[in-house]
Amino acid sequence: VATLTDGVDARSSGSVTVKTVAAHAGVSAQTVSRVLRGSGYVSPATRQNVLAAVDAVGYRPNAVGRSLRAAKTPMVGLVITDITNPFYASLHKAIEAVLRGCGLTLMLLNSDDDLETQRQQLDLVSSYRPSGLLLAPAVESSLTKEELARFGNYVLVSRLLPGVDAPAVVTNEQEVMQEATQALLAAGHRRIMAVLGPAAASTTRRREEGYRTAMTIAGCEPLPYYTDQTASGARQAVKDALRARGDITAAVAFNGPVTEGILAGMRDMNLHCPQDLSLVGFTDAPWMEFFQPPITVVRQPVEAMGELAARLILDLIDGRPVENKPHVVPSRLLMRSSIVPPS
Partner DNA sequence: CTGAAAGCGCTTACAG
**Which positions touch DNA (CB under 7 A)?**
15, 17-19, 26-34, 36-37, 39-43, 45-46, 61-62, 64-66, 68-71
**Is residue 287 a contact point for a second copy (CB under 8 A)?**
yes
For helices 256-268 and 231-244, what crossing angle results, to 10°?
Answer: 50
Rounded to whole angstroms, the Cα distance separating 193 from 253 reads: 9
Q: What is the smallest separation between the CB atom of 172 and a second copy, expressed in angstroms?
A: 24
For residue 249, give the nearest of 119, 340, 157, 129 by alpha carbon: 340
95-134 residues near a second copy, rule: CB under 8 A: 96, 105, 107-108, 110, 123-124, 126-129
CB 227 within 8 A of CB 195: yes
Burial of 279 (0-12, 13-18, 19+ CB in 10 A): buried
Contact partner at residue 231 from a second copy, DNA, none, CB < 5 to 8 Å by partner kind: a second copy
Instruction: Name the residue nearer to a second copy (CB basis): 25 or 95.
Output: 95
Which is closer to DNA, CB of 40 or CB of 101? 40
76 contacts 130 by C-beta, under 8 angstroms: yes
In whole angstroms, the minimum distance from the beta carbon of 136 to DNA comes to 28
Shortest distance, CB of residue 178 to DNA, whole angstroms?
50
- Nearest residue (CB) to DNA, 15 versus 343: 15
10 Å Cβ neighbour count for 190? 16
Task: State in angstroms the smallest separation of the CB of 109 from DNA.
Answer: 20
Which of a second copy, DNA, none sits in contact with 34, Cβ below 5 to 8 A by type?
DNA
Residue type at position 235: R
Least CB distance from residue 231 to a second copy, whole Å?
5
- CB burial readout 297-324, b (16+ within 10 A) else e: bbbbbbeebbbbbbbbbbebbeeeebee
Work out whether 292 is an interface residue with a second copy (CB under 8 A). yes
* Residue 322 interacting partner from a second copy, DNA, none (CB closer than 5 to 8 Å by kind): none
Only one of the segments 131-139, 183-191, 262-270, 327-335 lies at the binding site for a second copy (rule: CB under 8 A); that segment is 262-270
Question: Least distance from C-beta 82 to a second copy, angstroms?
Answer: 7
Give the residue ranges of DSSP H helices in 26-144.
Answer: 29-37, 44-57, 63-70, 86-101, 115-127
Q: What is the smallest separation between the CB atom of 312 and DNA, expressed in angstroms?
A: 25
What residues numbered 173-232 form the site for a second copy, per CB under 8 A? 231
Site for a second copy in 5-64 (CB under 8 A): 15, 60-64
- The residues, any chain, with a CB within 8 Å of residue 224's CB and separated by 6 or more, are 193, 194, 196, 208, 211, 212
Q: Which is nearer to DNA, 40 or 188 (CB)?
A: 40
Residues in the chain, total: 343
CA–CA distance from 340 to each of 99, 149, 216 (Å)?
44, 50, 21
CA neighbor of 238 nearest in space, from 281, 176, 200, 299: 281
Distance (Å, whole) CA 69 – CA 215: 58
CB of 118 to a second copy, least distance (A): 13
Distances (CA, A) of 195 to 99, 215, 282, 287: 35, 14, 11, 20
**Which of 143, 161, 241, 266: binder of a second copy (CB under 8 A)?**
266
> Which residue, 214 or 234, has its beta carbon nearer to a second copy?
234
Radius of gyration of the CA atoms of the chain, in A: 26
**Binding region for a second copy (CB under 8 A):** 15, 60-65, 67-68, 71, 73, 82-84, 86, 89-90, 92-93, 96, 105, 107-108, 110, 123-124, 126-129, 150, 231, 257, 260, 263-264, 266-267, 285-287, 289-292
